Amino acid sequence: MPHSMTGKTVVITGGTSGIGEVAAVSLAGMGARIVLVARDDARAASTLQKLAAANPAVTHAVHIADLFSLYEMKRVAAKIAEAEPRIDVLINNAGAYFEERETTVDELECSFALNHMAYFVITNGLLERLKATPGARIVSTASDAHKMARLDLDDLQSEKRYNGFRTYGTTKLMNILFTRQLAMRLEGTGVAAYCLHPGFVATRFADNNDGFMGSLFSILKRIWAISPQKGAQTIIYLASTEAALGKSGTYWYKRRCVAPTKAARSDRDAARLWALSEGIAYG
C-alpha cells in the first residue's frame, strides 16, 4: 500500500503534462512537496496551481531548464542540489520521440540527449542529496519500446542509420541499462533505483512530429491508449510504497517487477554505456 509522503520532497522532470503531471499531483495529494523541472513557463504555472490545490500545506517549487542542453542539465541539477537539503525521490520522466534526426546545441541526437543524457546528468547532479536522505529512491520512466531496440555503443548518436522509433526504443533500453548500473553503484548507500514501462498512454507524446509517425501515434492514441491516470500508477507506486525495497535495479510494469529483454540485462553494456555517457557529460 502507498505510504504517506508527508515531509518528503520529490523532484520530477517531465512533470507538467501527461503521466508526469498526474504522478506529481497524486504524490502532492499524499503529502509530498514537489520540485518540478520544466521547460515551459505557462505549463509550469498551471501545474503549480494543481499542486497547490492538492497540497496547500507546503510550498512547491519549479525550475525552468532546457533539458536538451548539457549545460542546462548541469545548471538545474546544481541549483536544485543547492536549494534542497534532502531529496526523497527523483523521478526522471522527461522524454520525446523524433521522427526525423535532429541535433541539440551540443550536437547530440535529440532523443539521446533528452531521453538518456538528461536522466544521467540530473541523477548524478543530485546523488549526494539522495544519498544524504534515508530511504531515497530514483524512478526512471523507460518503455517496452526497448524490446525493438538495437544498441550500438559505437553509434550512440544514430549517425550511421536513423529510424525514429528504433532510436526512441534504444534510448529506453539505455534507461534500463542506466538503472541497472546505477543500482550497482548505489549498493550499500540506502538509495534504490527503479525503472518502468507506463504502458501506451494518451499524452502529448509524439505531438511534436508532423510526419507519418506523428499522425499514426495520434490515431493509435485515440484507439488504444490508456489514460495518463492509469499510466502514472507505476510511477506513483515506486515513489511511495515499500513493496519495491530490496529490488533496486529492476524494471516494472503495472506495479509488478518484470523481466526486460536480454539486451537490457547486460552488465557489460550497462557499464560501458555509463562510461561513454560520463565522457559526453563531463569530458
Cell numbers 502529448: residue: 204
Burial of 92 (0-12, 13-18, 19+ CB in 10 A): buried
**Alpha carbon distance 121, 87 (integer Å):** 16
**Alpha carbon distance 283, 278 (integer Å):** 7
Candidate list 97, 119, 168, 251, residue with the active-site label: 168
**Alpha carbon distance 15, 35 (integer Å):** 9
Q: Name residues whose C-beta falls within 8 Å of residue 103's C-beta, 6 or more positions apart in sequence.
A: 109, 110, 157
Catalytic annotation present for 97: no
Cell numbers 543547492: residue: 82
Give the helix/strand (H/E) hosting 228.
Answer: helix 228-231
**Beta-ladder partners of 165:** none
Annotated active-site positions, please?
168
